[in-house]
Amino acid sequence: MDKCIAAIFPLVKEYYDRQAAQVDDAGNEVRLSAPAFDEHEAMRAISTILGGWISQGKNVREFEESAARYFGTGSGIAVNSGSSANLIALLALKEHKGIEDGAEVIVPAATFATVSMPVIQAGLVPVYVDVDLDSLNISPDAAEAAISERTKILMPVHTLGYPAEMDQLMAIAAKHDLAVLEDCCEAHGSALNGQKVSSFGDVGTYSFFVAHNMTTGEGGMVMTSNADIDRLCRSYREFGRYKGAENETARYYSDDVLTDYDVRYVFDRLGYNLRMTDVTAAFGIEQLKKLDGMNDMRRANAAELISVLNSKTKGYLSSTEAAPGHHHTYYTFPILLHESAPFTRRQFAEYLEARNIETRPLFAGCLPDQPAFRNAPGRNVGELPCARYLRDNLIFIGIHPGVTKKNIGYLSDVIVEFISSHT
C-alpha cells in the first residue's frame, strides 16, 4: 500500500501545479475567501482514506498535539466546528466552576452569532457590551461596567484577527473572580506581546471553517491548560462518555448501581457527538504548518490597502491598524465609513460588488438587534453606540493568500475611483 501511495503523490502534485498555472491573474475579481491548500493536504487526506481509518483517530490526536504546541496551551480538543467548540467550552466551564443556569456571560455586541447562541444553548445569559471602534474588540471599560453579581464568565472575541486587550481583561477577571473564554475563531496565530491568543484565559476556541486563516473545511478546537476542563470537554464532545480522572486506563467501571461495567459504555453527563474525523484532521496538520506564512501574506495585503485608505480616500474610510505588541492576522480586511463620508455603506458595497469585489457587513452587526436575539435571554449594557455604528457603516473584503498584487492594485484603483465619483 505504501508503494501505491508513493506512486500517487507525483500525480497529485502535477494536478495542483497545473491548477496553479491556469489561475487567471487579471486581478479584476476579488473573492471574500478562498482556501489555500495543495498536494500536501490532499495527499495526507488520501493516505488517511486508503489507510481505512477515517473517524476520530491518530490524525486527530496529532492535530490536537501540534495545535497545543503552536498556540501555547496544555492541550487541544478537536471538534466539528467553532460553534461546537464554544458550546462544550461553556459547558465544561459551568461544570468545572460550579456555575448555575441563568448566570451571565459578558460578550461583545458586535460579533458573529455563534458567540452568543452557545451561551444561550448552555443555559446561560449573554450580556452585550460595547466595542472599540479602532480595534472592533470588546471594550475593557464597558466589560467591567457590565459586571453584576450574576456574572461568571468573560468571553472576549479577537475580532477579525485583532487580539483583544487581554492584559486588561485578565486583570478584570481576576478582580471579579470570572472565568475567561477567548473566542479565537477568527484569530489563528494572532498574539499579544508575543503570546498567542487562546492561551490567556481558562479556555480558548478556534474554528477551521473554509474561509478562515487555516481550514479543515469544517472543524474547530478547544484549547486549555486546565486538566479538568480538558477532561470535561472530551466527555461532552463524545456523548458524555465517562472520562475518569482517577484512572484513564481502567477497563471496568463500578458504582452503587453498575458493577464491572465496560468503561467505554459508561456515560456520566449528557453530551453530544461533536467529534472531528481523521480526514478532517489530516488537512489541519498540514494547514498548521503553513499558517505563519499565510498570515504574512494577509498582513502584507492589509498594509498596502491601509496605505491607500490613509492617503487617497479624503479621510472618509479607514481600517484597523494594530497597536504596538498586537500581532493582527487579518481574517478579512475591514473598511469603516466615517461620519463625514458623503455616501452610504450600501452605495460603497454595491459599487465594489458591481466590479467583482465581494463584500460583507461585520457579521451580525449588533447581536441583540438580530431577529433571533430580540426575545432571547440577554441584556444590553447601555445604548451600544459603537456596535450600532459598525452595524451600519462597516464592510469587509478578502485579503487571503489568494489575493495577488494585481488584485490589490485593482482594489485600490476601484476604491479611489469610487471616492472620486462621490466627492
Strand order in the sheet with 317-318: 317-318, 333-337, 394-397, 360-361
Tell me whether residue 40 is one of the annotated catalytic residues.
no
| Catalytic residue (choose from 158, 188, 212, 327) | 212
CA dihedral for 111, 114, 115, 116, sign (positive or negative): positive
Distance of alpha carbon 173 from alpha carbon 175, whole angstroms: 5
Q: Which residues are identified as catalytic?
A: 212
